[in-house]
Amino acid sequence: QSTATISGTVENSNSVSVQLTIDTLYLKKKTQIITSALNNSQFNFTFAVDRSRLVELITDTNRLKIFIEPNDNLQLNIKNNSTLFAGTGSEQNTFLQKFYSQFKNDFDDSIMHEKMLNTGVDAFEISIFDSKKKQNELFKNYVGREKFSSGFSEFMENTIRYRYWDMLLSYPIINANSNQGMTVNDLPTVMLDGFEKIKVNNDAAMNCEPYREFLKYYVTYFTSEKNGFKKFTDLSV
């Protein structure tokens, strides 16, 4: 099995160690947690990697999502809220931090769910469509994109594409769950134009959280449609 290495320094840290978390099952359960001591501010992780995935590096002041692929050797220098990358995968991880920083609110479920509850469906769809457009523009126009691996480019395309559909399909479900009514409001048909081109069964996108969330709301929304958009009886009560 292939391995990958993430090493580097954490300056001005009050901690004696850093952690790396790997969600091997994509279920946020039985997450693998690896700890590395900070020796002279330096850390080192070498771990098995079966496929490209996001891992999370946790220091006393930062939580960094890092895209890692088999055989990567990535170095980081972390100082306060700034991170510099070097080595294999450095260019794409530099971009990833910029992307998550610029579109932080668009990928925050609590913020987006609150927006769903306080925004009409038309205005909400316009806002997420506009966000998708801006995300694509940043990705496609990024200087240094030619250094991205094919796996990372596919990951970013899936992240942007499925986040839009995840948000759209979850809108009626989140709203229905927030009230005592017995129905789910269906989406206007025009908003589902082009959905037939979306690949629902996409194993290559499993490393992408927006895709995994999309699957949940895809099943929920279209099952509700088959049920005449009536809420199902909660048999657990």
Tell me the pLDDT tens digit for each residue of 53-109.
Answer: 999 999 988 899 999 999 999 999 999 888 999 999 999 999 999 999 999 999 999
Give the length of the chain: 237
Confidence at 28, pLDDT banded by 50, 70, 90:
confident
Please say if the pLDDT value at position 233 is more than 80. Answer: no
Confidence at 14, pLDDT banded by 50, 70, 90:
confident
Q: How far apart are the first and last CA of the chain?
A: 46
Helix ranges (H only) for 108-149 are 109-117, 121-140
User: Which position has the token pair 């099995």?
Assistant: 1
178-192 pLDDT per residue, tens: 988 889 999 999 999
Q: Which two tokens stand for residue 42?
A: 């330096």
**Mean pLDDT, rounded, for 172-201:** 94
Give the C-alpha separation, 100 to 35, whole Å.
24
What is the structure's pLDDT at 195?
96
Chain mean pLDDT for the chain:
94
